[in-house]
């Protein structure tokens, strides 16, 4: 089967390959978009798979139990009955929705309680919470960066940070992933320009599983008068002796200016936060349009987050288990001969390479009962496609071994290993 007729290629078509597009109607691009339907018909569509139930390291899809890998429920708390009880316990008092923004009628005593407790946990002067982690990134970057300011981005930063940069009107400088020599060249080249400086980086990168070189970044920031902002979405609850994230992991809690995070991963809820100096957090609170004009998080989600925070602080075994599981998965992939891109965290990518082969590899894993997803262009470079795996605290050693066995079987069949 040629490259042009392979079913996997449907997912990889560029927009101009989808067929002629008329001009004049703004909906034409939508009418011409047929890849998703074609991929579904060919049985190679890997996204939007509906889960009917979830139990620890397994899920049920279309009546079939599958081992899930790639979920962000790192501490495995999303099915903890204590969180469900916390949500039910506040519904009678606060109702199902705030129906307004925090700025006007949507602030609850629960919001302020969570912000106080999270600030104490992180050792910060203040915390502000958001309806989603994505909104937190949009709010912080767009509110603090003005036209003359310069922001420095690792190229693999999350999309929410890039969108915040677009809203900010500041100048964006990107450096190659983890290339601190490149970052220093950019900082030195801008030394005589007016405006402020902000270095923004993920703490744990969501595709590679790499941990940012915060010691190096902090050193450059202090040398060139820049502030440091860390998006710790994938690190809070997992890294650091107390689960406080990348800064604690490196012993740099006093050196990071702002930490942005989410509640949709280790906290098993929905929402986001920023922590830092009170004056800076208060400025974001009064100037960030994505925050001011968005409805506040519902009380039930806040109650869930509070309960998860309590568990995070008092039951370190969840963090210990996810780290142990991650080490088992990384070691097993390496022994099989797969390239995990130097992952240092609970996110363990498996580099496949050719884009079509990655889709074929995903489908074979799916057929073997392993629920995971491929990362394809433009999310990764062309022919740099991968299968993103991750573990949680509820995965058993037997389930991790089953994941490895499936990768071994498919890799051997496709001629990648062995």
In which domain, by residue range, is 90 found?
Answer: 81-314
Same domain, yes or no, for 300 and 338? no
Q: What is the pLDDT of residue 5?
A: 47
CATH code (residue 376): 3.90.1150.10
Q: What is the pLDDT of residue 84?
A: 96
Q: What is the pLDDT of residue 1?
A: 40
Q: What pTM was computed for the model?
A: 0.93
Same domain, yes or no, for 207 and 86? yes
Same domain, yes or no, for 349 and 204? no
CB 134 within 8 A of CB 155: no
Same domain, yes or no, for 51 and 103? no
Q: Dump pLDDT digits (tens) for 111-133.
A: 999 999 999 999 999 999 999 99
Side-chain half-sphere exposure of 329, counting CA atoms within 13 A: 33
Rg over alpha carbons for the chain, rounded to the nearest Å, is 22
CB 11 within 8 A of CB 359: yes
Cα separation of 381 and 378, whole Å?
Answer: 6
Using the Cα atoms of residue 24, residue 26, residue 27 and residue 28 in order, give the sign of their dihedral.
positive
Cα separation of 229 and 158, whole Å?
Answer: 13
The tokens for 92 are 């009678």
Same domain, yes or no, for 180 and 261? yes
CB 272 within 8 A of CB 130: yes
Same domain, yes or no, for 193 and 210? yes
Same domain, yes or no, for 353 and 241? no
* Last residue in a domain, options 314, 344, 364: 314
Same domain, yes or no, for 114 and 263? yes
CB 173 within 8 A of CB 204: no
Q: Dump pLDDT digits (tens) for 234-282.
A: 999 999 999 999 999 999 999 999 999 999 999 999 999 999 999 999 9
Same domain, yes or no, for 247 and 296? yes
Q: What is the pLDDT of residue 2?
A: 41
Same domain, yes or no, for 256 and 122? yes
Containing H/E element for 258?
A: strand 258-262
Same domain, yes or no, for 322 and 352? yes
Q: Which residue positions in the chain have pLDDT lower than 70?
A: 1-23
Q: What is the pLDDT of residue 12?
A: 60
Catalytic residues: 206, 234, 265
In a domain, 75, yes or no: no
Contacts of 417 (CB under 8 A, 6+ apart): 336, 337, 338, 408, 411
Tracing tokens 């560029």 back to the chain, one arrives at 14
Domain count within the chain: 2
Q: What is the pLDDT of residue 121?
A: 98
Q: Dump pLDDT digits (tens) for 200-214.
A: 999 999 999 999 999
* Last residue in a domain, options 299, 314, 329: 314
Same domain, yes or no, for 60 and 106? no
- Any alpha helices (H) in 209-277, and if so which ranges? 214-224, 246-250
Phi, psi of 99, rounded to the nearest 5 degrees: 60, 15
N-terminal to C-terminal alpha carbon distance within the chain: 24
Q: From residue 193, give the alpha-carbon distance in Å to each of 84, 143, 165, 171, 196.
A: 52, 21, 19, 11, 9
Q: What is the pLDDT of residue 23?
A: 66
Containing H/E element for 287?
A: helix 278-287
Cα separation of 49 and 65, whole Å?
Answer: 13
In a domain, 11, yes or no: no
């Amino acid at each position: 089967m040629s490259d042009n007729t392979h079913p996997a290629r449907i997912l990889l078509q560029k927009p101009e390959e989808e067929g002629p597009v008329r001009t004049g109607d703004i909906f034409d691009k939508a009418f011409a978009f047929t890849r998703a339907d074609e991929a579904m018909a060919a049985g190679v569509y890997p996204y939007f798979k509906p889960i009917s139930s979830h139990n620890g390291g397994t899920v049920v899809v279309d009546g079939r139990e599958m081992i899930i890998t790639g979920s962000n429920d790192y501490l495995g708390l999303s099915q903890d009955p204590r969180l469900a009880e916390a949500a039910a316990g506040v519904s009678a008092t606060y109702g199902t929705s705030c129906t307004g923004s925090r700025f006007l009628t949507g602030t609850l005593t629960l919001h302020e309680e969570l912000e106080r407790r999270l600030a104490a946990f992180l050792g910060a002067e203040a915390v502000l919470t958001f309806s989603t982690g994505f909104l937190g990134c949009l709010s912080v970057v767009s509110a603090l960066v003005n036209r003359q300011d310069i922001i420095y981005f690792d190229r693999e930063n999350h999309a929410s940070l890039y969108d915040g940069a677009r809203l900010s009107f500041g100048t964006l400088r990107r450096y190659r992933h983890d290339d601190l020599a490149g970052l220093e060249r950019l900082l030195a080249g801008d030394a005589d320009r007016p405006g402020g400086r902000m270095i923004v980086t993920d703490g744990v990168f969501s595709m590679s599983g790499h941990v940012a070189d915060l010691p190096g970044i902090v050193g450059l920031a202090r040398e060139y008068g820049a502030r440091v902002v860390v998006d710790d979405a994938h690190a809070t609850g997992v890294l650091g002796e107390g689960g406080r994230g990348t800064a604690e992991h490196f012993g740099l809690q006093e050196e990071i200016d702002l930490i942005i995070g989410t509640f949709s991963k280790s906290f098993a809820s929905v929402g986001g936060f920023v922590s830092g100096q009170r004056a800076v957090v208060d400025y974001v609170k009064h100037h960030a349009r994505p925050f001011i004009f968005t409805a506040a998080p519902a009380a039930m989600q806040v109650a869930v987050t509070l309960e998860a925070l309590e568990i995070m602080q008092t039951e370190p075994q969840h963090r210990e288990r996810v780290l142990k599981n991650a080490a088992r998965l990384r070691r097993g992939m390496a022994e099989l001969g797969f390239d995990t891109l130097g992952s240092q965290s609970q996110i363990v990518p498996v580099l496949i390479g050719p884009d079509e082969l990655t889709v074929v590899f995903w489908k074979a894993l799916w057929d073997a009962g392993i629920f995971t997803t491929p990362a394809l262009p433009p999310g990764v470079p062309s022919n740099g496609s991968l299968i993103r795996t991750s573990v949680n605290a509820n995965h058993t050693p037997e389930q991790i071994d089953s994941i490895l066995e499936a990768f071994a079987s498919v890799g051997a069949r496709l001629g990648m290993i062995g």
